Homo-oligomer: A and B are copies of this chain.
Amino acid sequence: MKTYSLNQLGRYPIYLKLLKELHEGGVEIVSSPLIASRLGYSEEQVRKDLQNVSSEVGRPKKGRDIKLLIEDIETFLGYRDSTSAILIGVGHLGSALLNFPAFSEMGLEILAGFDSDPSLLWKRVGGKEIFPISMLKEILPRLNAHIAILTVPAKVAQEVALLAVDGGAKAIWNFAPAHLDLPPDIVVENVNLASSLAVLSHRLNIALAKEEK
């Protein structure tokens, strides 16, 4: 099976968002050059990306059927059969994610939160109940959640990730700035703000240097 890089895969949600907007605006057919100009991509890249996931063929001079395209991308990304998740670590970032409404559009249902802070327990954050981490192993299998969202401090990330895997989690969406060492069949996707900031910072340095000269 072909594998896709983060960059490639990451473009599909962006296409999806635009396509949905256009479709809601009453547009039925869309062409690659149009998408390209709206998103700042090249025409060729858009066409290649769409060919990748779509079985339908585009019509010259017109483009592609938006509705079918949306379905194709959603199916490709796995948004169609919605996935269940739990979130561990209800701090600032964790709360923000629990309150993020767009996840359900992407087929992600966060069923519950977990935290070790007793003052949070049994409360509701973003409409989700918070359980103690000690109950993870007990509750997680019952929820049948495949994804564990990790928003805990880096020091405990590895330990908590193992608990989640023990409980049956198949994928970890890791927001902690820590490298996780887990069995190879577990899917780990890291979100590292420091990395993103490093890129920004470096590019800014270049831009400022160029400005000065």
**Tally of A interface residues using CB under 8 Å:** 67
* Nearest B residue (CB) for A146: B204
Chain B nearest Cβ from A41, distance in angstroms: 9
B197→A106 contact, CB < 8 A: yes
Chain A contact surface mostly? helix
Instruction: Report the Cα distance A192→B78, complex, angstroms.
Output: 17
Number of copies: 2
Q: Report A175 CB to chain B, min CB distance, Å.
A: 10
CA distance A63 to B18 in the complex (A): 49
* Residue from B13, B17, B93, B96 within 8 A of A197 (CB atoms): B13
> Residue-by-residue, is A15-50 near B (CB-CB < 8 Å gives 1, otherwise 0)?
011100000000000000000001110000000000
CB atoms of B195 and A4 under 8 A apart? no
CB pair A191 B189 closer than 8 Å: no
A205 within 8 A of B: yes
